[in-house]
Structure 1
Amino acid sequence: MDLIDRLYQKINEDRWSQVVLLVSSYAQGHQLLERVCKRYGAIFNVNVQTLQGIVTDKVKLELFRRKISLLEEGEKFWVIRRLMKQLTVEEPAGYITESMLKPGIVNHVFRAISELRMAGIRSEDMTRESFMNSDKGEYLKHLLARYESYLHEHYRADFAGVIEYLNPVVENTVYLALNPTGWTYVESKMVQKLSGGRVVLLDLDSPFYVSEHFQDNQFTMFRATGSFAEIREGLRRILSEPESLDRTEIILSDYERYAPVVYSLTETLGIDCTLSNGLPLTFSVAGKVVMGMLDWLAEDFPVNKLAEMYRHGYLEFPDDRWSRAEWVQILEKSGIGWGKERYYTALSPEKLSEKLRDQGAILFTYINEWFKGLPDRNEWNPLFLLGWLSNFLQKYVPIRSQDDANVKSMLQEMANRCDASLSEPMSIDLAIRYVQEMISEVRINFSATPRPGAVHISSMQNGGWSGRNRTWIAGMDERAWSIPAVQDPLLLDTERHALSEHLEPAFERAKRVRSERESRLSQMKGELWLSYSSYDIGEQKNQSPAYEMLQVLRLQTGEMGLDFGDLEHLLGEPFGVIDVMHIVKQPVPLDGIDTWSRLLQDTNGKRRDGWRAMLQTYPDLAQGDQARKLRLEAELSAYDGWLDVDIFLNSNDSSEVLNKHFISASQLEKYASCGMYYYFYYVLKLQSKDIVKFDSTRWLQASERGSLLHDIFRRYMEEATNQGRKQADHNRERLFEITETVIKENATSIPVPNLHVFEKECEEVRRDVEIFYHHERLNVDQPCFFELDLTLANGEPMNVDLFGGMSIRLKGFVDRVDRIGPHEYRILDYKTGNTRKYKALEYFSGGTQLQHALYSVAVEQWLRKTGMDSEARVVEAVYYFPTERGRGESVKRVQDRREELAGIVAQLLESRDRGIYIPTKDSKLCEKCDYQAVCQSHPESMARKRKSPDNAHILSKLLEVEGIE
């Protein structure tokens, strides 16, 4: 007789008695009774109970009478941690110090106290001599005594303590349990007291390797390269018989590693399944938000975390006047991240544009609600944080699935179960770690018992009770299958033996678990699949099968002398994700991967031309391949930036076309530098997202630092010259007052990563300003215009007439204009870098330095047209480097090449409008380019095409400009 037969026999020995089946879980009990009913028919008067459940139910009335409340396990943890904290305060140099009160150590102590209690050990029973380390023994003795006093003083009882209030029940009830029960000493006494001695222990079946009937099963074994490939192969076999879904149980040797793989594949393939242990809460939207918000708190409130969750639809703001894209935009562009204070500062009305002001005000109310009541960084309470997270979920996370609803309710229940006063203030990092430990136990999408029509997925700890006639044990590698007899570092085996015979040593526990597992294997009837991953992809090392697989092979073949070499020979080649070794044996393709595997192999196992099949299946990929080929050819193509546009198709006059252009000097320089960049940025308008990013090593980016210095120089020079009306009256103190004001203004809008970085960069700015002051003090010319806007009164770009009758519409700003003589002017362009690229003999530098010449012509004509100076002549332009890097140097360009300027501009505009957008010839420019991922090594391959005579008629004018110094 097997276990089911014996169980049925005991249930029916006394038909009129109530039978209580004591099991480790309700799921185990219900599955056992289902198997009994399936074999023998209906049974009556049987009640499934766990020991904790029935004991708690029996003592509730007595506890109520005595006004004693039950201490839940979650509360018990925080009580013990609080007592540990008290001991560290009283004895700072004790066995466990305050710095050691981390979740891992507290968990060890919590388990040790719980084991001592369940073994019936009281503090007065403990002696220092029982421990290898007497300080540890004294610590645990004092802590247990404190815990006992806490229970007494607060009228609380933990589960070990309720035995005092458990009254013997005189009733006609028989208690059945499976042996080995795994009960502790206190639990055994509870059973005896509860049952009055009427408890029957049913032995499990004999281990599988000595079972009379185990070898009658139908065995299948295979291996795979990685857990993903292993699960794919098993599901492929299951799907070959779709009607077998609800007669299959998958037992995972390593549930935490394999369950996500199984779930993702079954969900993709549309296979209904039940998971006995469920999944981590991060498999739900609400769970992702919980973990995301914990990261947000831990990382000092970075706004990109919020934007990312909102972009994916995990978060929703109650006000629906703005779309998700608009909410993401304001989160990304406002620069509100990094520290509580910045959220308030950046969302103030004066910091937002008029367009964003209303939306910013609403966002401010939400954020104010989030921050309301949040403590300082060292005053956090994990239980308060748990409640904060629960409230956040209720208000800002939509329920899109039952899992989301479950996460919300479970988190709310956890928050309500524990009083925040049980925990003391701690750092935010430590509080977050505690909360992460707590929520790691939350599970979603679990179904402890199988469901008809669904594959049942269980763990090695609770699987094998369903009685299904196909059982697949996955992950039977040696590491996952082994049961390590690792001693508890806080209660070593020798210490357990010295303290009490009722404290189970680690090796005894491992022996009991292995014996129970081997007995449970023998209950499995029908088809038994065993598989393992022969290669760990994560750790990149081979794995061996469990010894039990070899035992099964020996039983199957009847040859007891087989070894692991024989087992590996029988298993053959491992299955892969893209499997070409077993393709002819696959009954049905599992998904597109299998379909491709079939396409790439013929019936003889020879490889087909996969590239051709890929290009025929995916037109976009074929177009990409065509682009690759054309880039390798000598002639220019559209994939090199040659669009072959005829700008003169509808016009007989080239000047008519060129005169219509509106362009800035920087655009024209960028086109000369890299036509492809120009095409992506100005034509296609493919711009990188304008997101404020946090860099812990710097405060200002290069462009931000340049803007700051420009602002300082402009404010000071306008004030020193009375808006350009007089010679500069220099005042160093006033200059540095303006500097500090501008720095302060920038610090409110640009995040400061830390004080050290901020002070370092501020000192650099002050040194730059010092150099600016030193050189300006020696300047004898008259600065008269600052940030000169080259536009008309109505804001339209001004028409600039170049040599030879050519005219362009130009728009831009000139940093500064100085009067250097009667009707003679100089324009200055502030540069915050160094002078390296502004060489003396490179006046136009291949068209990449046109600003000085274009702006000289434009300023001259602006002065005349506006009546500022009808005889004005801009005779020189200067690139001015008034910084530490530039050493205060100047690069002068005398304005005497205007005919050449007009020719260069005409040739560049004509090349642009003919559709020539080839990449740069200087590959160094690609290092910091936003479009590097698109171009890749294109500039290098273009070098050959630039020199090819076949492309001369296309590139001649552009190449001519590139050759001009």
Structure 2
Amino acid sequence: MAKVCEKYPVEEKRLVVPSYQTGHVLCETLSQAGVGWVNLRTETPTGLALQIAGDYLTERHITLLDGCLTSYVVIEILQRLQERGELHFFNKQKATRGLAAALTASLLELRESNVTGSSLVPDTFVSSEKGQDIKLILQEYERYLEEHSLLDPSGLLALAVQLATSYNSEDEIIYLMPSFVQWTPLQRKLINALAGEKLFTLAVDTLQDNQPLKGHSTVSFYHAYGITNELREVLRRLHAGRIPLDQVTVAYTNEEYVSAMYSLSHTLDFGLTVFEGISAFLTGPGRTLQGILSWVNSDFSTGVLNNLLLSGDLVIKADGGQKEITPHQAVRILRDAGIGWGKDRYQLLECYTQKMGNEQAQQLNSVLQSLIKQLPEENDEGYIPFGDFCRALSEMVQLLTRVKGDLDSTALTVITSCLKGIGELSSLEMTVEEAVDSLTDLLKNLKVGSSGPQPGQLHLSSYRNLVWSGRPYTFVVGLDANSFPGSLRQDPVLLDSERKNIHDELPLSVNKLEEKLSTMANALASRRGELVLSYQSFDVIDNRELFPAPLLLQIYRQMKADPLLDYSDFLSSLGEPVGYSCGNADPLDEVEWWLCINKAGELFEQTVVSNCYSNISSGQKALDARQLSEPTEYDGALPELDLAQSLSSHIFSSSQIEYLAGCPYAFFLRYVLRVQPPEEILFDPSKWLDPLTRGTLLHSVFCDFMRQVKARGERPDLERHQILLRDIAEHQINYYKQMIPPPSKLVYQREVNELFDSCHVFLTAEMQRDSEPLFFEVPFGLGPDEVAKAGCGLARPISIDLRDGRFIRFRGVIDRIDRIGWDVYCVWDYKTGSARDYGEQLYYNKGRQIQHALYAIAAEEILKKEFPGRSPKVKFAGYLFPSVRGEGRQVVREVANRQKLVELLKTLLEIMEKGTFVASHEGSQCHYCDYQLVCGQEAAVKRAKLLFENRAVRRLDPWRRLQEYV
């Protein structure tokens, strides 16, 4: 280039390169070398074609087809041809994204070689049916472009070649063209047609066998554990050598290195330019679109939406865009509204807004409702118009994205433009899942933010574009055999034998492999200065060893001037792979510093860590305390409490007392500290109702049914009442269906059938019961309104004399009171789970089952109020299991020895009084506990067991006595 510029200093010169960016980088390097480049202008084949054909396109209103839209055109053509039954070879394959992508790549290669549908001969294919299909698809593609006044890049080049003969330039122009660029046949034709004899081919150095690389002061190698460590070693070497970032180019062979280096640039806060750009997936708008797609695909789950809100990529504004709703405000509102999932259930947000009068809720509701309305509805077959879907997403991304910089701004423009383009072109119909998958693929392959080298910033480039950079320090990463040159694979659509028959310039699979090797050789030969080559020798993701590319051995042999060296020689020269520790180099960040300190054996004092991290210090303090022989506050052991005043004011429920008996630590968290897990309706594709909700539903069904049967003066009968019971159940099921949307029709129908089966079990069991059902859902201690609603009960709580001057009060709801004789009654509580834990010998079950005893006392007081002047007695109390899991069993407890109940209650109160809220030494209840993450489950049970077995720990004596109340 310098020689041409010096020989023709004032003549008009055109440097033809693959992209304007490559030309700009090349000219900048030329300028840095002290060579002037007056009248030298960069051009691309596409740019030259537009100069020639621009007026032609404008006159005929023809526009260029965006590259991201091509595969959508092809998949639409495929669907249309399949629907018409015109395909024979591809008729059995659904028009999937994968098939469309493969066909698109092959069609574009045909068009780059100027092969048209009319010139394609089906008999040149191994199957004439396949050839006929590809010919038809190519013809339909050409027809689609013509009908929509579109032109793809190959079509533009072909048009420019036709018009080039009549194109007259005002000046004599000298054309410069790098010799190593792999031009397509149409690109080469256009350049030759324009340049004629004024074409100068720019030669480059080549990598010759058995000859060392030219111009390098050093060539070195290393290998690493994983991609991230490989890239970290680049940065460590730059730091150790005090090398400025803007003197360095890092070339990669694998796209994974782009996201890894981009992540490191944010973590370590250094400037980075990427020649090819980064995936839109990594930008704020890309993450916003990805989050919206996940939200839609999850049936609008608020859990997914909450994660998107908390990511910081989303902005929700109301009042004309002036006022922003904070993520935590939005998450709290969505949780309190109880939406869960389902598009229609977002109407609950409107109800919540009206009920609470919350301004932020009103604003959030306004934004979300407008977004949801934009999305197209599914038709009867479950399909949506893909074009409408993309247009709606474009508006949503534009409205919701929080733009944090120039890269986000560029990405937002690119993403919305692409979505609008698909929306204008596509008439496809597909399922929501297919639409989401399609756009997810698009987002991964869409690149934004491409840039040449910039001052003060590290430059990252594919090895294919390394040749354009003139920086003195070069690192080539990713030189494992899997990444480079990769395996030899034939095109799945156009086989090599077919390519040879179709056009002699169609690239073959073997040519593509050779082109990779040639491109890398030219890139390495062009380097001046220091060169470092590396690869990951161990894939930490797949947990497997990787081997170096043959190229590394070739260069090693050249360096040592010994062609007989083999891989064992090369590997032994590398030494140990680079890992997570910085070794003797300065650490890049705090994490590396700690690893280096630990590896050097200098992390011997706990204070070194605890002085820096207060949370770790607190955690260590807790761990040390849990090694002591006596329980501490970290085990749940608190100072002794005076319960006299609290007992007079507090009203317990039987479930609270049973909860204490199950695990004092869980009781402490829930009822003393009042730590509650978030009440979220989470999407589970395999389940509709959780056990608690299912139990509540069945309780309501059984209560309503028994009240209606009682009012009729009848006894439950399967033949007479099964329709009534089913109607009541259907009413409750429909109510809960509105409150909690089922994840699918299949899951809903399965659980509905289970509910109906439980109803059948219930009715069958009731027919065999001798007792007379009397009262249902009987409240006590819940106030006069609840008593009035139930028709009987006690407004005040019941009070049990502990016979030591203290009383304990209870409240609750008795599911059912039956009469079994004159002034003799029994109390029942419905349990819709399994009867496994309700054995005949477990009267109190260590305090975990005292409801029957407490409710028997409450029932007697209620019955005395209902039947004044009489002496009703509750002889039995127990549990009914009217469900499929419970098999209709009943567990009966004879009401006797109330002194033992008093002693049991006093023991439980003593546990509270002593403040001994140590976890249970049995882990049987842990599976159902909400606090597993808080206590550490296994560790807490193990610790509690050690304390329990140590009789010297007198503080646990009340807990030990409790275990005797079987």
Q: So what's the TM-score if we normalise by structure 2?
A: 0.90
- The Cα shift of 1:527 comes to 1.2
- The Cα shift of 1:616 comes to 6.0
* Range with greater deviation from structure 2 (557-566 or 702-711): 557-566
- 1-side partners of 2:327 and 2:664: how far apart? 35
AA matched with 1:139: D
- 2-side partners of 1:768 and 1:855: how far apart? 25
- The Cα shift of 1:406 comes to 2.0
2:789 is matched with which residue?
A: none
* Residue from 950, 957, 961 that aligns with 2:952: 950
**Do structure 1's residue 591 and structure 2's residue 585 form an aligned pair?**
no
- The Cα shift of 1:387 comes to 2.0
* Residue from 727, 734, 748 that aligns with 1:737: 727
8 Å contact 1:882–1:888 — kept in the other structure?
A: yes
- 1-side partners of 2:834 and 2:213: how far apart? 86
2:669 is matched with which residue?
A: 680
> In the TM superposition, what whole-angstrom CA distance separates every residue of 1:450-506 from its partner, at most 9, and x where no partner exists?
111111111111124221111111222222221544322222222222122222322
**Do structure 1's residue 788 and structure 2's residue 782 form an aligned pair?**
no
- The Cα shift of 1:45 comes to 0.4
- The Cα shift of 1:681 comes to 1.7
8 Å contact 1:380–1:427 — kept in the other structure?
A: yes
8 Å contact 1:790–1:859 — kept in the other structure?
A: no
**Do structure 1's residue 962 and structure 2's residue 966 form an aligned pair?**
no
Residue aligned with 1:222, SS: strand
What is the 5 A alignment of 1:748-759?
Answer: 748-759=738-749
- The Cα shift of 1:865 comes to 6.8
AA matched with 1:516: T
- 1-side partners of 2:855 and 2:549: how far apart? 79
- 2-side partners of 1:398 and 1:351: how far apart? 25
> In the TM superposition, what whole-angstrom CA distance separates every residue of 1:887-920 from its partner, at most 9, and x where no partner exists?
4333333333222222221221122121111222
- 1-side partners of 2:865 and 2:294: how far apart? 60
Alpha-carbon distance change, 386 to 610 in structure 1, aligned in 2, over 3 angstroms: farther
AA matched with 1:455: L
* Range with greater deviation from structure 2 (543-552 or 150-159): 150-159
> In the TM superposition, what whole-angstrom CA distance separates every residue of 1:408-443 from its partner, at most 9, and x where no partner exists?
211222234456344332333333333233333322
What is the 5 A alignment of 1:365-764?
Answer: 366-367=368-369, 369-372=371-374, 374-376=376-378, 378-418=382-422, 420-447=424-451, 449-482=452-485, 484-579=487-582, 583=583, 585-586=584-585, 588-602=586-600, 609=604, 613-614=608-609, 617-643=612-638, 645-648=639-642, 658-722=647-711, 732=721, 733-764=723-754
Residue aligned with 2:429, SS: coil
- 2-side partners of 1:155 and 1:736: how far apart? 63
* Range with greater deviation from structure 2 (190-199 or 900-909): 190-199
8 Å contact 1:714–1:787 — kept in the other structure?
A: no
**Do structure 1's residue 14 and structure 2's residue 8 form an aligned pair?**
yes
> In the TM superposition, what whole-angstrom CA distance separates every residue of 1:629-670 from its partner, at most 9, and x where no partner exists?
544444333333322x2335xxxxx86665454322111111
- 1-side partners of 2:62 and 2:951: how far apart? 98
- The Cα shift of 1:245 comes to 1.6
**Do structure 1's residue 60 and structure 2's residue 54 form an aligned pair?**
yes
Residue aligned with 1:375, SS: coil
Alpha-carbon distance change, 846 to 819 in structure 1, aligned in 2, over 3 angstroms: same
Alpha-carbon distance change, 824 to 753 in structure 1, aligned in 2, over 3 angstroms: same
- 1-side partners of 2:61 and 2:325: how far apart? 55
1:331 is matched with which residue?
A: 334
1:4 is matched with which residue?
A: none
2:272 is matched with which residue?
A: 273
Residue aligned with 2:827, SS: strand
- 1-side partners of 2:423 and 2:883: how far apart? 60
What is the 5 A alignment of 1:789-938?
Answer: 789-793=780-784, 798=797, 800-804=799-803, 805-820=805-820, 823-862=823-862, 871-933=871-933, 934-937=935-938, 938=940
Alpha-carbon distance change, 863 to 148 in structure 1, aligned in 2, over 3 angstroms: closer
* Range with greater deviation from structure 2 (290-299 or 367-376): 367-376
8 Å contact 2:485–2:513 — kept in the other structure?
A: no
- 2-side partners of 1:179 and 1:838: how far apart? 86
- 2-side partners of 1:373 and 1:592: how far apart? 46
1:3 is matched with which residue?
A: none
> In the TM superposition, what whole-angstrom CA distance separates every residue of 1:782-809 from its partner, at most 9, and x where no partner exists?
5135232323449986250325253123
2:237 is matched with which residue?
A: 237
* Range with greater deviation from structure 2 (97-106 or 304-313): 97-106
2:136 is matched with which residue?
A: 142
- The Cα shift of 1:565 comes to 2.3
- 2-side partners of 1:857 and 1:351: how far apart? 44
AA matched with 2:448: I
AA matched with 2:544: K
Alpha-carbon distance change, 550 to 656 in structure 1, aligned in 2, over 3 angstroms: closer
Alpha-carbon distance change, 224 to 365 in structure 1, aligned in 2, over 3 angstroms: closer
8 Å contact 1:788–1:816 — kept in the other structure?
A: no
8 Å contact 2:87–2:133 — kept in the other structure?
A: no
AA matched with 1:46: L
* Residue from 113, 122, 128 that aligns with 2:122: 128
Alpha-carbon distance change, 101 to 883 in structure 1, aligned in 2, over 3 angstroms: closer
8 Å contact 2:224–2:577 — kept in the other structure?
A: yes
Alpha-carbon distance change, 154 to 330 in structure 1, aligned in 2, over 3 angstroms: closer
Alpha-carbon distance change, 944 to 306 in structure 1, aligned in 2, over 3 angstroms: closer
- The Cα shift of 1:577 comes to 0.6
1:651 is matched with which residue?
A: none
Q: So what's the TM-score if we normalise by structure 1?
A: 0.90
- 1-side partners of 2:729 and 2:173: how far apart? 89
- The Cα shift of 1:66 comes to 5.0
- The Cα shift of 1:247 comes to 0.9
- 2-side partners of 1:252 and 1:413: how far apart? 29
- The Cα shift of 1:744 comes to 1.6
2:247 is matched with which residue?
A: 247
* Residue from 155, 158, 161 that aligns with 1:161: 158
8 Å contact 1:769–1:883 — kept in the other structure?
A: yes
- 1-side partners of 2:144 and 2:927: how far apart? 66
Residue aligned with 1:534, SS: strand
Identity over the aligned pairs, expressed in percent?
25
* Residue from 333, 336, 351 that aligns with 1:349: 351
- 2-side partners of 1:846 and 1:150: how far apart? 78
AA matched with 1:743: I
> In the TM superposition, what whole-angstrom CA distance separates every residue of 1:89-148 from its partner, at most 9, and x where no partner exists?
333551122743122222222222222222232334332331112111122223333344
* Range with greater deviation from structure 2 (748-757 or 622-631): 622-631
AA matched with 1:165: L
What is the 5 A alignment of 1:204-353?
Answer: 204-207=204-207, 214=214, 216-242=216-242, 244-254=244-254, 256-319=255-318, 323-344=326-347, 346-347=348-349, 349=351
Alpha-carbon distance change, 13 to 935 in structure 1, aligned in 2, over 3 angstroms: closer
- 1-side partners of 2:464 and 2:367: how far apart? 49
Q: How many residues in Structure 1 have an aligned counterpart in Structure 2?
A: 939
8 Å contact 2:106–2:493 — kept in the other structure?
A: yes
Residue aligned with 1:313, SS: coil
Alpha-carbon distance change, 358 to 740 in structure 1, aligned in 2, over 3 angstroms: farther
AA matched with 1:880: L
8 Å contact 1:208–1:519 — kept in the other structure?
A: no
AA matched with 1:457: L
Gaps (5+ residues) in structure 2?
787-794
8 Å contact 1:658–1:910 — kept in the other structure?
A: no
- 1-side partners of 2:330 and 2:429: how far apart? 35
- The Cα shift of 1:870 comes to 7.3
